[in-house]
């Protein structure tokens, strides 16, 4: 009787799965938005009110936070006729915008900045050349800084002023520097009033040139880029300050050595001072320095941080509203990223957050400057919660309790926030909360599963451990209706490098739809965040210092042991796939002796194969220089392990990759030929470090086909 019941249940389950739809790999890649949970987009609070807006199609919906009363604003029906009448292109959808007050908002197009007013209509605030790049608007005056060709400009109401122009090849103004490390994403920084502009000047004329081949020409030509290899010459950066009213420029006196990193630029609210986090090339010493914006002179060093492995500032000082001296500084000085209240008039710092978990997002201050709101992980690293800190007494309040991932959009006065929540089995819930007690005023959206009509496997967050007992997080996706009596092939998807966390207690554990496509095809897919990955504290992240690949391999092999312990994974059919740092890890796991015979096949995309060929800023932080750490560099140079390649390895690279140079994998192919080793190899012409756009579906179809053939 019991066997009959089990059979009936099994048949019913199979019948249910048969009734559900499937999706192809192309659909998994191209329909990522369709497979995403419903959302409220472009949420913006309206200053001076208890209201915020979000988009609904081509309309705005205005919501009152306390009572959740809402109304619809048909913005485009008013905006487009005004744009057309003024001779500008009309908009197909709601542009990115910011409310100034209940009746005014400002937005920008590719070349213009406008204010839209319910009383005054459309007001043009700035107009830029069509070829303007690196555009940076001041959010009060609408002045714009931008680059054009080799020059840096400021533009006020259509009037352009050239600030600086490259004196020779290798001099760059107004663009991001230090290879986008240290949280740097741009090259210009407006003062609070808009009367001054700080900007980067980068001299990379001494840096090695590297050719990127342009194929759409006959004959093919090379576009030269500057690429600073680990241990080689680095570029020199200075910070200029342009006075808009006087049309004068001074440079901050940041001193020597020239090969240092000038990071995390911040202005004091009174326009008097600029704060720069100066990091030495060794990246083990940081000085937060205060400079006089009028003269460029160093005023003083506000604080110093040192660490025997590395320091890595990624967030500029955030000044407290209403104060020209108080600021919040983020640091890992106690082992986890936390917030500290500092003052230009004192070298003391007072902790605003604490605990064995990191602050993962700083949302800002209430307008009165008394409180700040932030997001922090828990000790496991899996969950995210919203917190508020009182700047006066340092008391903190946890505003959300449900385990999962909470993100916030906080009102300017700090009294409300929109809580965007998900967890493993909850696609998305959006509610409005008061910061006083975190009480919910109402729920705006409860998303249904966007994949409920499709056959989907089960997703689990699993706990495992490093060989030294360090707890690790993993995400396991199993085929729909899997039978534990059968044996399944498995794929480990790996990154395991700094700054990345793949597994969280969010919808489907943070897994992507291509993983579920493979699960639908009968694979188990496991990802493990090993030592070195993000949001688990400084010691966890620094375990990889000077020996990239060693601890990470141990932790990925612990994932293999976990798979084998389940009893339904075929140990002879385990593959591995990763890109960039994950490509380095894939090649390591396929060839280094510690993993001999473990993996039947691997896919390595854009892989770092010799850290001596990778960029200075990233590599030297984790490895020191090749001159200081020759044994470490030699051990993780993967050309050394080609003799161990027995399984099938597919290597993929974009020919225009300016992050992990194409030379890495071309040299690997060359060595495979010399040693008589067979390698599957594919290039994506003129793609950079990631394969994006329509070609991405081609990439994953190829990966799926390779895995089916080899596993």
What residues are annotated to the active site? 580, 657, 689
Instruction: Return the SS3 of 226.
Output: strand
Q: Widest CA span of the chain, in angstroms?
A: 92
Instruction: Return the SS3 of 161.
Output: strand
Q: Which of 596, 661, 609 is nearest to 637 (CA)?
A: 609
β-pairing, 248-251 vs 318-319, is unpaired
Reported residue count of the chain is 711
Q: Which of 69, 67, 39 is nearest to 55 (CA)?
A: 39
d(CA 179, CA 527) in angstroms, rounded, equals: 28
d(CA 322, CA 320) in angstroms, rounded, equals: 6
Contact 166, 206 (CB under 8 A): no
Q: How far is CA 317 from CA 302, 325, 339, 439, 538, in A?
A: 11, 11, 10, 31, 20
Q: Which residues, at least 6 apart from 183, have a Cβ–Cβ distance to it below 8 Å?
A: 263, 264, 313, 314, 315, 316
Adjacent-strand bridge partners of 292: 273
Q: How many CB atoms lie within 10 A of CB 255?
A: 10
Token digits of residue 307: 């660490």
Q: How far is CA 464 from CA 529, 555, 586, 681, in A?
A: 10, 9, 20, 34
Q: Angle of helix 513-520 relative to helix 695-710, nearest 10 degrees? A: 30
Instruction: Identify the DSSP state of 448.
Output: P
Q: Where would I find the beta strands (DSSP E) of 118-232?
A: 121-127, 133-137, 144-148, 151-156, 159-165, 171-173, 188-190, 196-203, 209-214, 221-226
Token digits of residue 646: 């027995």
Angle in degrees, CA 166, 168, 169, rounded to 5: 100
DSSP 59-126: EEEEEETTT--EEEE-HHHHHHHHHHHTT-PPPSSPPPEEEEETTEEEEE-SSEEEEEETTTEEEEEE
Q: Which of 381, 305, 292 is nearest to 340 (CA)?
A: 305
Contact 274, 267 (CB under 8 A): yes
């Amino acid at each position: 009787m019991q066997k009959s019941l089990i059979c009936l249940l099994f048949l019913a389950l199979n019948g249910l799965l048969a009734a559900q739809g499937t999706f192809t790999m192309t659909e998994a890649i191209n329909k990522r938005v369709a497979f995403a949970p419903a959302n409220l987009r472009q949420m913006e609070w309206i200053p001076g009110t208890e209201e915020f807006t979000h988009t609904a199609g081509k309309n705005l919906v205005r919501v009152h936070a306390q009572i959740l009363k809402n109304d619809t604003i048909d913005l485009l029906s008013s905006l487009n006729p005004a744009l057309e009448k003024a001779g500008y292109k009309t908009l197909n959808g709601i542009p990115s915008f910011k409310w100034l007050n209940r009746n005014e908002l400002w937005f920008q197009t590719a070349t213009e900045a406008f204010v839209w007013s319910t009383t005054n209509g459309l007001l043009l605030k700035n107009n830029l050349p069509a070829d303007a790049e690196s555009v940076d608007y001041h959010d009060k005056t609408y002045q714009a800084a931008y680059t054009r060709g080799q020059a840096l400009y400021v533009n006020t109401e259509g009037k352009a002023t050239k600030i600086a122009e490259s004196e020779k090849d290798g001099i760059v103004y107004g663009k991001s520097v230090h290879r986008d490390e240290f949280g740097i994403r741009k090259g210009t920084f407006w003062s609070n009033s808009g009367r001054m502009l700080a900007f980067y000047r980068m001299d990379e004329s001494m840096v090695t040139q590297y050719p990127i081949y342009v194929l759409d020409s006959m004959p093919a030509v090379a576009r030269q880029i500057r690429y600073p290899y680990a241990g080689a010459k680095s570029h020199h950066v200075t910070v200029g300050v342009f006075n808009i009213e006087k049309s004068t420029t001074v440079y901050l006196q940041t001193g020597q050595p020239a090969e240092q990193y000038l990071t995390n630029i911040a202005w004091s609210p009174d326009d008097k001072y600029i704060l720069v986090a100066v990091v030495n090339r060794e990246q083990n010493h940081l000085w937060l320095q205060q400079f006089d914006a009028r003269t460029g002179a160093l005023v003083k060093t506000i604080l110093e941080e040192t660490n025997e492995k590395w320091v890595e500032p990624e967030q500029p000082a955030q000044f407290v509203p209403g104060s020209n001296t108080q600021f919040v500084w983020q640091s890992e000085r106690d082992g986890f990223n936390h917030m500290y209240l500092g003052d230009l008039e004192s070298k003391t710092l007072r902790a605003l957050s604490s605990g064995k978990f990191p602050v993962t997002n700083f949302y800002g201050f209430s307008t009165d400057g008394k409180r700040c709101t932030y997001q922090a992980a828990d000790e496991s690293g899996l969950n995210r919660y919203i917190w508020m800190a009182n700047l006066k007494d340092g008391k903190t309040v946890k505003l959300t309790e449900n385990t999962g991932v909470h993100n916030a959009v906080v009102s300017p006065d700090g009294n409300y926030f929109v809580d965007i929540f998900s967890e493993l089995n909850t696609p998305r819930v959006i509610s409005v909360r008061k910061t006083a007690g975190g009480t919910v005023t109402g729920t705006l959206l409860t998303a249904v599963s966007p994949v409920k009509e499709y056959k989907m496997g089960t997703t689990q967050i699993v706990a495992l451990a490093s060989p030294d007992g360090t707890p690790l997080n993993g995400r396991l996706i199993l085929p729909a209706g899997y039978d534990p009596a059968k044996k399944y092939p498995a794929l480990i998807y790996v990154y395991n490098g700094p700054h990345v966390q793949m597994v969280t207690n969010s919808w489907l554990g943070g897994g992507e739809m291509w993983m579920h496509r493979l699960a639908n095809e009968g694979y188990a897919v496991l990802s493990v965040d090993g030592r070195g990955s993000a949001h688990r504290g400084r010691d966890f992240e620094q375990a990889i210092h000077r020996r990239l690949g060693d601890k990470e391999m141990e932790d990925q092999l612990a994932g293999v042991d976990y798979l084998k312990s389940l009893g339904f994974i075929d140990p002879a059919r385990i593959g591995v796939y990763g890109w960039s740092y994950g490509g380095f890890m894939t090649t390591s796991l396929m060839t280094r002796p510690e993993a001999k015979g473990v993996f039947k096949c691997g896919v390595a995309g854009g892989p770092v194969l010799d850290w001596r060929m990778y960029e200075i800023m990233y590599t030297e932080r984790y490895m020191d220089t090749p001159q200081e750490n020759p044994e470490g560099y030699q051990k993780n140079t993967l050309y050394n392990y080609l003799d161990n390649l027995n399984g099938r390895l597919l290597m993929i690279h974009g020919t225009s990759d300016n992050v992990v140079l194409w030379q890495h994998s071309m040299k690997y192919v060359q060595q495979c030929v010399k040693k008589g080793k067979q390698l599957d190899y594919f290039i994506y012409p003129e793609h950079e470090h990631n394969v994006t756009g329509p070609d991405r579906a081609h990439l994953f179809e190829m990966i799926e086909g390779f895995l089916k053939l080899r596993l």
